[in-house]
Amino acid sequence: MNKAIYPGSFDPMTNGHLDIIKRASKMFDEITVCILKNTAKTPLFSVEDRVKIMENAVKDLPNVKVDSFDGLLIDYAAANDVHVAIRGLRAVTDFEYELQIAQTNRKFSKDNLDTVFLITSLEYAYLSSSTVKEIARYGGDISECVPEDVAKLVYEKFGRVN
């Protein structure tokens, strides 16, 4: 089976992530969205909440699963016999960071984990989880950035009822 993993923080997941997931799900037999604990970031949502949010967002995509992992992506991939990681690329600024991660994962997995990049769709090129949080914090409209139920949860986190 042609499997791939889509790793990230997804704090919270956005329509940009969902676009990548839908496109990747047509290229592979099975996609596992893997929510990784990111020690460099203080999250808005717990890993458990992010898993639930993502599960709900992909419920109509039969070949997409959701999992979480606290550790190195290469270890998760080896344990689950997956050899492809999907990442999304927005602006050139993503490239340098992604290049380094992709090369590191390839080297430390002894060539067992390769990365496939999907270029963001134009309408989501500006979108990031951080932007969504920043806009929602100040009561801005995030309805075009995330699914409706996710927007509600994000506003709740900031004590807003929109």
Q: Catalog residues that contact ligand ADP under the rule CB under 6 A.
A: 8-10, 14, 16-17, 20, 38, 87-88, 90, 94, 120, 124, 127-129
CB nearer ligand ADP, residue 25 or residue 129 = 129
2's CB contacts (< 8 A; 6+ apart) are 28, 29, 30
Q: Is 106 a catalytic residue?
A: no
Least Å distance between CB 160 and ligand ADP? 22
Least Å distance between CB 88 and ligand ADP? 2
128's CB contacts (< 8 A; 6+ apart) are 14, 16, 90
Are the C-beta atoms of 157 and 139 separated by less than 8 Å? no
Residue from 22, 90, 106, 137 carrying the catalytic annotation: 90
Q: Is 83 a catalytic residue?
A: no
Q: Is 25 a catalytic residue?
A: no
Q: Is 90 a catalytic residue?
A: yes
Burial of 25: CB neighbours in 10 Å, binned 0-12, 13-18, 19+ = buried
